């Protein structure tokens, strides 16, 4: 029988393989997933994010701490993700607890972002009323000129979050192939189990 750790590892590997396959096939947005959060009164919201790493400690994504999702995650640190790659005919859903990550982790990934995206994070306050046309671009250019060849420092509001899955489900959409739907789930004792379900 597979151990709890082996079952959890298998689920993460399956997810990583799908992201790798979507990337290898040149599919649009292979790392993108819908992130659902809810506020302290359980009112839900959903939007897309990029999942930048699938690791044993959980899946990493980035968000502005002052955004709607940032506030919701601080109020209610639970979330769900939904990936779908049409060409691969599979959806992956997962749920779990979310934790704000260290500044070191956020710094590491900030450095991998395109310079344009880094400058844009400084120029625009996410979710604030739209600035007059051209103002954001002008702000970004001013910052760019002030920095010269220096690296753009991370905006303190740009934070790393990690969702630690408690359930991961693979739902194949090829009905004619009748492939297996699989649920990987952590039981109340903290042990991972795996079950095949009807699609």
Ligand X SMILES: Cc1cc2nc3c(=O)[nH]c(=O)nc-3n(C[C@H](O)[C@H](O)[C@H](O)COP(=O)(O)O)c2cc1C
Least Cβ distance, residue 68 to ligand X (angstroms): 3
User: Cα angle at 67 between 167 and 146, to 5 degrees?
Assistant: 125
How many alpha carbons lie under 13 Å from residue 147 in its C-beta half-sphere?
16
By beta-carbon proximity to ligand X, the closer residue of 32 and 147 is: 32
By beta-carbon proximity to ligand X, the closer residue of 73 and 152 is: 73
By beta-carbon proximity to ligand X, the closer residue of 50 and 193 is: 50
Residue 90 φ/ψ, nearest 5 degrees: -150, 140
Nearest one of 58, 93, 65, 97 to 79, comparing CA atoms:
97
Least Cβ distance, residue 3 to ligand X (angstroms): 33
Report the C-alpha gap between 34 and 31 in whole angstroms.
10
Residue 4, class by beta-carbon neighbours within 10 Å (0-12 exposed, 13-18 middle, 19+ buried)?
middle
By beta-carbon proximity to ligand X, the closer residue of 48 and 87 is: 48
Least Cβ distance, residue 193 to ligand X (angstroms): 31
Q: For binding to ligand X (CB under 6 A), which residues are involved?
A: 29, 32, 45, 47-50, 61-64, 67-69, 127
Pairing of strands 58-64, 44-55: antiparallel
Pairing of strands 44-55, 32-38: antiparallel
By beta-carbon proximity to ligand X, the closer residue of 61 and 184 is: 61
Least Cβ distance, residue 161 to ligand X (angstroms): 9
What the block records as the tokens of 119 is: 């400058």
Least Cβ distance, residue 70 to ligand X (angstroms): 6
């Amino acid at each position: 029988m597979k151990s709890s750790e082996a079952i959890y590892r298998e689920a993460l590997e399956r997810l990583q393989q799908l992201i790798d396959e979507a990337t290898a096939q040149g599919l649009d947005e292979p790392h993108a997933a819908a992130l659902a959060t809810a506020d302290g009164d359980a009112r839900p919201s959903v939007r897309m994010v990029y999942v930048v790493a699938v690791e044993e400690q959980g899946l990493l994504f980035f968000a502005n701490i002052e955004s709607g999702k940032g506030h919701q995650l601080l109020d209610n640190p639970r979330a769900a993700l939904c990936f779908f790659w049409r060409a691969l005919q599979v959806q992956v859903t997962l749920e779990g607890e979310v934790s704000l990550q260290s500044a070191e982790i956020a710094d590491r990934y900030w450095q991998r972002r395109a310079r344009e995206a880094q400058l844009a994070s400084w120029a625009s306050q996410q979710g604030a009323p739209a600035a007059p046309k051209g103002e954001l671009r002008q702000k970004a250019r001013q910052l760019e000129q002030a920095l010269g060849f220096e690296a753009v420092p991370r905006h303190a509001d740009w934070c790393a979050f990690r969702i630690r899955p408690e359930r991961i489900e693979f739902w194949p959409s090829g009905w004619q192939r009748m492939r297996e739907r699989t649920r990987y789930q952590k039981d109340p004792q903290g042990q991972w189990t795996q079950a095949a379900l009807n699609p």
